[in-house]
Structure 1
Amino acid sequence: MQFISVVSVPVGDQDRAKSFYLDKLGFHLIAESTFGDGLRWIQVGIPGAETSLTLVTWFDEMAPGSLRGLVIDCDDLEQEHRTLTERGVVFTSPPSRQPGGVFAVLSDPDGNRISLRQAGS
């Protein structure tokens, strides 16, 4: 094995989710195409990162908004929190010190929870 390449994020509306991840979080679009019977592959990622996200609607067992436990590292969590808040990102918890670093939790439009972390702080 080498690394985790793609994490599936269950969403209800791919266009709304794509807009959130690109416009609010600052991800970039890696790939977008159709396949199968009207299904869409939308892959987004953080510039320079190896791991990316695909915004999925086709897994029945993955309800939109059910993602928990995804952690994205930041160099300066306080600044990232300010920037994203200014862009309209809603945080479910502000930056707080916990085992493993300082964390702040946000939700995407479907309710998927993503933790931002500044390690070693």
Structure 2
Amino acid sequence: MEWTLEVVAVPVTDLDRAKAFYRDRCGFRADVDASFFEGVGRFVQLTPPGSHCSIVLESGLPDSPGRPRMLPGALQGLQLCVTDIEAARAELAGRGVEVTPVLHVGAAGWAAGRGEEKWNAFLFFQDPDGNGWTVQEAPAPLSER
């Protein structure tokens, strides 16, 4: 049996503002914007370009069994991978996202620029609620090399 990660819930305060941020500034595809039942909860599902995993923004839904509700801004460390970190940074910055310079991690911590290893180039940004994202340059999949 395969287990696939398909959706990650991102806690936000304003669905419309968050939807606009992820769609217009981050370039995510808006897949769904719907209510479960008349007047009870709404969810918005968006997918990063090329990803098989989506995010869902939700409001007014009851807590799920076994999953306490997170506060907006509490989700940190979501990670997107790209094959060209400079192009990703230029695209996000060009769309108005406040994004860090390209950084790498070394023995002394984070430093400016790319690291020597192909995987060691990152940038960071936050959504309007403070949920934190990491973008990492990763080598192209073997099928594309």
TM-score in terms of structure 2 length: 0.75
Cα offsets for 1:60-117 (capped at 9, x unmatched):
63001111011000111111111211211012x3211127521101000111000011
Secondary structure of 1:16's aligned partner: helix
Equivalenced residue count is 119
> Which structure exhibits the higher relative contact order, with contacts defined as CA atoms closer than 8 Å and separated by 6 or more residues?
1
Q: 1:73 to 1:53 in 2, by over 3 A?
A: same
Instruction: Name 1:21's counterpart in structure 2.
Output: 22
Cα offsets for 1:20-58 (capped at 9, x unmatched):
000000010111210244311100002332100001234
Instruction: Name 1:52's counterpart in structure 2.
Output: 54
Retained in 1: the 8 A contact 2:41–2:58? no
Instruction: Give me the whole-angstrom Cα distance separating, in 2, the residues matched to 1:48 and 1:85.
Output: 19
Instruction: Give me the whole-angstrom Cα distance separating, in 2, the residues matched to 1:47 and 1:78.
Output: 16
Secondary structure of 2:49's aligned partner: coil
Q: Does 1:32 align with 2:51?
A: no
Q: 1:3 to 1:23 in 2, by over 3 A?
A: same
Q: Which residue, out of 120, 126, 133, partners 1:107?
A: 126
Larger Rg: 2
Instruction: Give me the whole-angstrom Cα distance separating, in 2, the residues matched to 1:103 and 1:77.
Output: 7
- 1:53 aligned partner, one-letter code: I
**Greater strand share, structure number:** 1
Q: Which residue, out of 66, 71, 78, partners 2:86?
A: 78
Structure 2 regions of 5+ residues with no counterpart?
A: 107-118, 140-145
Q: Does 1:63 align with 2:71?
A: yes
Instruction: Name 2:110's counterpart in structure 1.
Output: none
Instruction: Name 2:12's counterpart in structure 1.
Output: 11
Instruction: Name 2:112's counterpart in structure 1.
Output: none
Instruction: Give me the whole-angstrom Cα distance separating, in 1, the residues matched to 2:78 and 2:86.
Output: 19
TM-score in terms of structure 1 length: 0.88
Instruction: Give me the whole-angstrom Cα distance separating, in 2, the residues matched to 1:75 and 1:98.
Output: 18
